Copies of this chain bind each other. A is one copy, B any other.
Amino acid sequence: MQFSKSTAYGLHALMLLAKSERGRNVGIKELSSSLGASESYLSKIMSKLRQDGLVRAVTGVNGGYELARAASEITFLDVVQVLEGRQHLYECFHGSDHPLPALEAAGDEPETPEFAFGEGCPVKQVMDAAEQQMNRYLQQHTIQLALNQAGSCDAHTACKK
């Protein structure tokens, strides 16, 4: 399990937008060269962020992207949910709803089958709660907050401790 590269790109792109002066559009060329990502790939990511209302986009000359709201109003959770999707991290196999399509004569042992755990499954309860812990933290941390962190070193660039 890993966060996708898209999420890394998206988060960093937003950091760059947050750094740029308000009102100025940042083009995909600038973003992609700053991040070392291809324009075409990063475009897709920016489109998603726009569709979800995190950034605004203007086409044409002098167009580009800017934050749709203050950096202090954009949480890491917002970004993660757009780019990773909103499904739960954990599922109790086979979609967690239908009780397994096929399971004919299962060989010898006709045990009580214990699959098809729904919302009440104790395993799922723990896993969901664990996810919740992470999400809560992500929700409490905004782009602005991270930007401030960066400020104490060299605004968002290297800063190896």
Contacts and interface: CB of A to CB of B under 8 A. Distances in A.
A123 B8 contact: yes
Interface stretch (A48-56, A57-65, A103-111): A103-111
Given A8-B91, A89-B1, A123-B15, A33 B160 contact: no
A112 interface: yes
Nearest to A146: B122
Which of A85, A121, A131, A149 has the largest count of B CB atoms less than 10 A from its CB?
Answer: A121
B134 A131 contact: yes
A40 interface: no
Counting chain B CB atoms within 10 Å of each CB, the highest count among A36, A87, A89, A92 belongs to A36
Contacts of A121: 156, 159
19 contacts: A1-B89, A2-B90, A3-B90, A3-B91, A8-B90, A8-B93, A12-B92, A29-B108, A29-B109, A36-B100, A36-B116, A37-B93, A114-B156, A114-B157, A118-B160, A119-B160, A125-B146, A126-B149, A133-B137
Interface of A: 1-5, 7-9, 11-12, 15-16, 29-30, 33-37, 76, 84-85, 87, 89-94, 100, 103, 106-109, 111-123, 125-127, 129-131, 133-134, 136-138, 141, 145-147, 149-150, 153, 156-161
The 6 closest A-B pairs by CB, nearest first: A120-B159, A36-B115, A134-B134, A122-B149, A122-B146, A122-B150
